[in-house]
């Protein structure tokens, strides 16, 4: 995670980060509320940020009143003009004279205002699921009507930070992922207080940037999901039609949060807009060792401990695993529930990491199972895919508490490594042809935990 720094705007401290090595500058303005440091805890959002940093030097920040920036009194909520000043202050502090502005949802309003007011500092404008107006009128019929908007604000304040109360229309395919819901609820709680979140909604209800749109004279890309119910595709068509020569790209999906659905098409469009080509068009195929872990009996344990204690234990478990991944040169590729997927550049290190993890979580009262397989995988950004990934997952599912199971491929590749393997027979792996020889790994080396 990049270091969080501070710029001063209007007497307020504005938290910002700079990362990436690209020649072009990109200023990312998040939506409604944000928390710079917590962004990096969601693997999908973190992978988007890292990919943006492959072709741009990225500057992002928490708007005043949110996240790591100064909280402001309810009587001094920032205007759109104040927030545009914050953009300028952050760019100045980061030493960025000119940049493409990327705004998501409410963040797009700030970017539009900035691009029209300071065209000499805007190379381009990218709007993702941005609205021009947040309350219904006859000439803007896609926004919520006043009574519905007031209900949304009231519900937000009453149920702020409750994973079960998150509106499904912003979550898309991740609506059924309890870990994502828990992370997003925590993200919101650490981004603003319930009252501040509600007041910020009231503030953006008053925003109307329609008059600004025809005054934007920088290259503009508008990205919208066709089934987004929070900011409708018709709003994207309207906005693109109002900005001279803007390009509109409509893509499938309904999640308003762009990292709650497959973000690859969105980042592809951003990269092509900024560089003229898409580096992600062809996945990179490499030989890699894939390791899966998950906690045995997690549902029963979570039920017994209760939500608060279980979350604390789960966070400690994740910390331990990440420490071992760093020790054995593993690369975390994602989390699902209480499980991890990681890749290694050598199968022996993967097996030793799995054994070390199993030993390291035991004092926490946890038992993990692990599966390891080596084969050709596809690397697309920070994601990993391919048949080898499925094989690793299926082998892990065969393991019991404390067991590390590996494929025959892994056993053959680590010959001479002083790891021990016991044959656990032939198994049919769900969705895969043929039978697969599986072995249980162990080691006499105490540093491996075996």
- In the chain, where the domains are located: 5-275, 284-448
Q: What is the pTM of this model?
A: 0.66
Statement: residue 278 has pLDDT above 70: no
pLDDT for residue 165: 81
pLDDT for residue 446: 47
pLDDT tens digit sequence for 403-444: 999 999 999 888 777 899 999 999 988 877 788 999 999 986
Could you give the angle at which helices 194-205 and 146-158 cross, rounded to 10 degrees? Answer: 160
Whether the CB-CB separation of 131 and 235 falls below 8 Å is answered with yes
pLDDT for residue 72: 84
pLDDT for residue 4: 95
φ, ψ of residue 24 to 5 degrees: the values are: -90, 150
C-alpha torsion 64→67→69→70, nearest 10: 80
pLDDT band at 147 (very low <50, low <70, confident <90, very high): very high
pLDDT tens digit sequence for 279-322: 644 456 778 899 999 999 888 888 888 888 888 998 899 999 99
Whether the CB-CB separation of 48 and 267 falls below 8 Å is answered with yes
Q: Which CATH architecture has domain 5-275?
A: 3-Layer(aba) Sandwich (3.40)
What is the average pLDDT value for the chain, to the nearest integer? 89
Query: What percent of the chain is predicted at pLDDT more than 70?
Result: 96
How many angstroms separate the Cα of 111 from the Cα of each of 53, 97, 244?
A: 20, 15, 16
How many angstroms separate the Cα of 140 from the Cα of each of 45, 102, 240, 327?
A: 31, 24, 14, 56
- Mean pLDDT for 67-85 is 83
Q: What is the DSSP letter of 130?
A: -
- Mean pLDDT for 153-171 is 83
pLDDT band at 383 (very low <50, low <70, confident <90, very high): confident
Cross-strand bridge partners of residue 12:
9
The 10 Å CB-count burial string (b at 16+, else e) for 24-60 is bbbbbbbbbbbbbebbbebbbbbbbbebbbbbbbbbb
pLDDT tens digit sequence for 16-59: 999 998 889 999 999 989 999 999 888 888 889 988 998 999 99
What tokens were used for 327?
């020790």
DSSP readout, 155-181? HHHHTTT-GGGS-GGGTGGGGG-HHHH
- Mean pLDDT for 378-387 is 76
What CATH class does 284-448 carry?
alpha beta
- HSE-up (13 A, CA, CB side) for residue 44: 18
């Amino acid at each position: 995670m990049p270091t969080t720094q501070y710029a001063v705007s209007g007497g307020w401290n504005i938290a910002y980060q700079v990362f990436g090595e690209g020649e072009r500058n990109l200023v990312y303005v998040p939506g409604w509320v944000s928390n710079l440091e917590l962004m990096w805890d969601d693997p999908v959002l973190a992978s988007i940020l890292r990919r943006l940093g492959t072709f741009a030097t990225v500057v992002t920040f928490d708007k005043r009143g949110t996240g790591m920036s100064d909280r402001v009194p309810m009587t001094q909520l920032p205007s759109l003009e104040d927030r545009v000043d914050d953009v300028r202050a952050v760019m100045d502090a980061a030493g960025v004279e000119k940049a493409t502005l990327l705004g998501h949802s409410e963040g797009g309003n700030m970017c539009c205002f900035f691009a029209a007011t300071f065209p000499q500092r805007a190379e381009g404008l990218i709007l993702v699921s941005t609205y021009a107006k947040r309350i219904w009128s006859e000439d803007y019929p896609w926004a919520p009507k006043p009574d519905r908007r007031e209900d949304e604000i009231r519900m937000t304040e009453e149920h702020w930070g409750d994973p079960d109360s998150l509106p499904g229309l912003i979550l898309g395919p991740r609506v059924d992922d309890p870990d994502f819901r828990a992370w997003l609820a925590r993200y919101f709680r650490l981004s603003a207080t319930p009252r501040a979140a509600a007041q910020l909604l009231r503030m953006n209800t008053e925003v109307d940037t329609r008059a600004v749109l025809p005054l934007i004279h920088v290259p503009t890309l508008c990205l919208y999901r066709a089934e987004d119910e929070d900011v409708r595709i018709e709003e994207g068509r309207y906005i693109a039609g109002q900005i001279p020569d803007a390009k509109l790209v409509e893509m499938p999906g309904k999640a308003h949060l762009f990292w709650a659905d497959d973000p690859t098409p969105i980042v592809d469009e951003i990269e092509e807009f900024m560089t003229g080509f898409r580096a992600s068009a062809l996945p990179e195929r490499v030989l890699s060792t894939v390791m899966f872990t998950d906690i045995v009996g997690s549902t029963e344990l979570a039920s017994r401990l209760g939500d608060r204690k279980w979350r604390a234990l789960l966070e400690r478990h994740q910390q331990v695993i990440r420490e071992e991944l760093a020790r054995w040169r593993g690369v975390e590729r994602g989390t699902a529930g209480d499980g991890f997927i990681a890749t290694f550049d050598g199968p022996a290190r993967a097996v030793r990491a799995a054994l070390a993890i199993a030993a390291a979580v035991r004092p926490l009262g946890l038992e993990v199972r692990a599966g390891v397989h080596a084969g050709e995988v596809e690397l697309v950004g920070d994601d990993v895919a391919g048949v080898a990934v499925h094989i690793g997952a299926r082998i892990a599912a065969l393991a019991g508490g404390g067991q590390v199971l590996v494929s025959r491929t892994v056993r053959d590749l680590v010959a001479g490594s002083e790891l021990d393997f016991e044959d656990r027979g032939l198994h049919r792996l769900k969705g895969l042809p043929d039978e697969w020889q599986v072995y249980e790994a162990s080691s006499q080396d105490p540093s491996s935990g075996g």
